[in-house]
Amino acid sequence: MQKRKLGNSGLEVSALGFGCMGINHSYGKGIEKKDAIILLRNAVERGITFFDTAEAYGPYTNEEIVGEALQPHRKEVVIATKFGCKNAIPTAGLDSRPETIRTVVEASLKRLKTDYIDLLYQHRVDPNVPIEDVAGTIKDLIQEGKVKHFGLSEASAKTIRKAHSIQPVTALQSEYSLFWREPENEIIPTLEELGIGFVPFSPLGKGFLTGTISANTKLEDIDRRNIIPRFSEENMKANQVLVDALSELAKQKNVTTGQLALAWLLAQKPWITPIPGTTKLHRLDENIGSKNIVLTADELAKINTTVNGITLVGDRYPEILEKQIDK
């Protein structure tokens, strides 16, 4: 597995990371703990060294699974987790008060079975707590050795600059894919200027870009995509044109649609590390295969031209979560 450095920080991770959320949270009931542990250890064996979790995934249980799975490999891997959701429940609101951050970190360390967190993200920007106070708290935790690197998630360029001036930001985690390209407008240029790495979540459009789900797919009742506007039956039918176009391009390259989407992301910048998630070993292998796909300048141009000609519909979050996005 090729390695990449997240910006100027020196933090080296596998070119593809592993988004752990879906193993037991958000996308249905997930898989059994023992199966999740086997899957994560298989990822390590295949060269993945970058694993992303959060206290809010579960809540709490995802960190416990990741901690147990990766404990035998702790020195070989980079573990990222997050703070910032009130009581670890995103829909309950935000809480990034310094005392809360410290409490969350201590609890996360225990669940992850470690004495340091490689990369600690603020899950969402808290409008009630100055970002300077948040960055200052992380700076103290770094000096204490409990945290190695500071990250932000779904933060605006303005917030990134403020935080970075207090404690250098190693990485920004935000949604970015052929299904959501808004970060290209202002975020990516800001990250490049400041030397900050980019970790795209939902690089496969929450599964939509794999071509394996459609408007006719029946999701489990507890699957959070049921409340995401982009996944309404009407919007999925309208957006299917994107998947159909990408599938045609993938066939020409003799790769899967998901692999094409990941290869496109990897080709954007050398400091971008996507974190696709899965619950299936064969999908893990499929995702990893994307790192060997080389897209020529002409192929990238063709993908961009195709996608730019398609208007996608539907918000990416329900209103209660959309309001939490820093703008």
> Given 57, 121, 176, 317, which residue is catalytic?
57
Amino acid identity for residue 19 in this structure: G
Handedness of CA 80, 84, 86, 92 (dihedral sign): negative
Q: Could you give the angle at which helices 257-268 and 281-289 cross, rounded to 10 degrees?
A: 50
DSSP code string of 10-37: --EEESS-EE-GGGTSSSSS---HHHHH
Gyration radius of the chain's alpha carbons: 19
284 close to 278: Cβ distance less than 8 angstroms: yes
- Return the half-sphere exposure (C-beta side, CA atoms, 13 A cut-off) of residue 232: 12
The Cα–Cα gap between 185 and 263 comes to 20
Q: Is 49 exposed, middle or buried (0-12, 13-18, 19+ CB in 10 A)?
A: buried
57 is catalytic: yes
Residue with tokens 């039918």: 237
Residue with tokens 């992380």: 138
The Cα–Cα gap between 150 and 45 comes to 27
The Cα–Cα gap between 34 and 11 comes to 30
Which residues contact residue 123 at a Cβ distance below 8 angstroms, ignoring those fewer than 6 apart?
Answer: 54, 56, 82, 83, 84, 85, 90, 153
Distance of CA 137 to the CA centre of its chain: 23
101 close to 83: Cβ distance less than 8 angstroms: yes
User: Which residues participate in catalysis according to the annotation?
Assistant: 57
